[in-house]
Amino acid sequence: MVMQVLVWIVVAVLAVIVGKWLGVKLFGAKKDVSNLRRSAQVLSIALRDAGLKRLPVILEQFVVGDVPDLLDSIHEMSIVVKSGNDAILKELADTFDRVLGMKLQSPEGRAAIKIRVLEAEKVALEVVKVAAPVVAAAAIAAL
């Protein structure tokens, strides 16, 4: 559910970029488009380095001005999101693995991960403390 919300947010951001680009293209403010294209190119490289595959392609199509393919790619992505296909979740999982690998390469990154793991274990321990008496009572009642 959370992943779908994230994907919808990304699609909405892309739709705004494309809408602004089309508006500027139709009404002729070229310097704004040039700045958007430079930003999109930088973002595309960063997203590709992070492991994403679909969004960088869409951004690259925007950078080169390939509107038909850009619109097709956005349409295909919306179909994938609506269908509940696991392709987006797999791409995000791959990206997570890649970012995790990058974090594990530095002492600061490993320390941050250890803190997150300890926090998660603390939460899990609290859940067990609350759930254990309930589960035990249910087990005794079942006997």
Phi–psi pair at 14, nearest 5 degrees = -60, -40
Distances (CA, A) of 13 to 7, 10, 16, 132: 10, 5, 5, 45
Averaged pLDDT for residues 104-117: 89
The conformation of residue 138, written as its DSSP 8-state character, comes to H
pLDDT for 25-72, tens place per residue?
666 656 667 788 888 899 889 888 877 888 888 889 988 888 889 889
| Those residues with Cβ within 8 angstroms of residue 33's Cβ, 6 or more apart along the chain or in another chain | 21, 24, 25
Domain parsing of the chain, residue ranges: 2-94, 107-142
Mean pLDDT, all residues of the chain = 79
pLDDT for 122-142, tens place per residue?
877 777 677 667 666 777 777
